[in-house]
Amino acid sequence: MKTLIHRIFFAFTIGWFSPLLLAFLFTTEKEVIAADVQRWVEILGFSEQQFWLQLIMLAKKTPEFRNLYYFRIFKGNLLGKLTVHLLKFIYPKCHSLFLDYSCRIGSGLFIQHGFSTIIMADMGRNCWVNQQVTIGYKDKSGRPQIGNNVRITSGAKVIGNIQIGDNVTIGANAVVVKDVPSNCVVAGIPASIIKRNGIKVKEKL
């Protein structure tokens, strides 16, 4: 009996969230969305399922993914954008997570706990952002440019027209207002380099 009830509930859930697939069918951003889904599924350890089912389950269970999904669709063609505007009324975004639609963000962005998080930066591929992170402008000079495989952990601030290299980890609550070279770990207020190429160091930015 429990198995039957579970199957009925699962079928209802899939049916309720299936309209989200319309935006995917209409958009020109299918390739980057597929890469996002693959990364989220790998990180969250979802069971192996068909792509369309993975997309629906991610959109249902993780509002942060829903925000990213809407962001991707919005970057595409007009038909996809119109579909998203309708879907947002039925399937709301995570309102404490802000992704600026003017940004360029590479595939595979993972957002873990999007509470009170602002992303206003151009980012590379396979980045990772945690909760209570602020990435954005300091003044009119510009916003951060962030490389590939960058992880920005909880409470960190990355502010201003600065360059963050590839394979960088920014520690919890760090404040980064200067360029960071590739293959480094930075931490502190203001942030300094505590590891470079896997070796512990203590260097000012």
Supply the pLDDT for residue 22. Answer: 86
Residue pair 152/135 in contact by the 8 Å Cβ criterion: yes
Final residue of a structural domain among 47, 66, 92 = 92
Helix or strand or coil: residue 142? Answer: coil
Domain with 205, as residue range(s), is 96-205
pTM reported for the whole predicted model: 0.90
Residue 154: partners with Cβ closer than 8 Å, 6 or more residues away: 113, 130, 131, 132, 133, 172, 173
Helices 51-61, 30-44: crossing angle, 10 deg rounding: 70
Instruction: Specify whether 128 is located in the same domain as 160.
Output: yes
Distance CA 189, CA 194 (A): 12
- Greatest mean pLDDT among 2-6, 12-16, 55-59: 55-59
Percent of the chain at pLDDT exceeding 90: 66
Instruction: Specify whether 110 is located in the same domain as 86.
Output: no
pLDDT tens, residue by residue, 50-102: 888 899 889 888 999 999 999 999 999 998 888 888 888 888 888 899 999 89
Instruction: Specify whether 79 is located in the same domain as 117.
Output: no
Residue pair 132/158 in contact by the 8 Å Cβ criterion: no
Instruction: Specify whether 199 is located in the same domain as 104.
Output: yes
pLDDT tens, residue by residue, 43-59: 998 777 788 889 988 98
Instruction: Specify whether 10 is located in the same domain as 88.
Output: yes
Instruction: Specify whether 181 is located in the same domain as 105.
Output: yes
Residue pair 118/131 in contact by the 8 Å Cβ criterion: no
Instruction: Specify whether 25 is located in the same domain as 69.
Output: yes
147 has pLDDT over 90: yes
Residue 155: partners with Cβ closer than 8 Å, 6 or more residues away: 130, 131, 132, 133, 172, 173
Final residue of a structural domain among 92, 110, 143 = 92
Measured between alpha carbons, how far is residue 87 from residues 22, 27, 28 in Å? 9, 14, 17
Instruction: Specify whether 124 is located in the same domain as 201.
Output: yes
Instruction: Specify whether 205 is located in the same domain as 125.
Output: yes
Final residue of a structural domain among 92, 118, 135 = 92
Residue pair 111/87 in contact by the 8 Å Cβ criterion: no
Say which CATH number the domain at 154 has: 2.160.10.10
* Averaged pLDDT, 130-148: 94
Helices 63-74, 51-61: crossing angle, 10 deg rounding: 120
Q: Specify the higher pLDDT residue, 47 or 151.
A: 151
Instruction: Specify whether 102 is located in the same domain as 177.
Output: yes
Instruction: Specify whether 44 is located in the same domain as 142.
Output: no
- Could you give the maximum distance between any two Cα atoms of the chain, in Å? 63
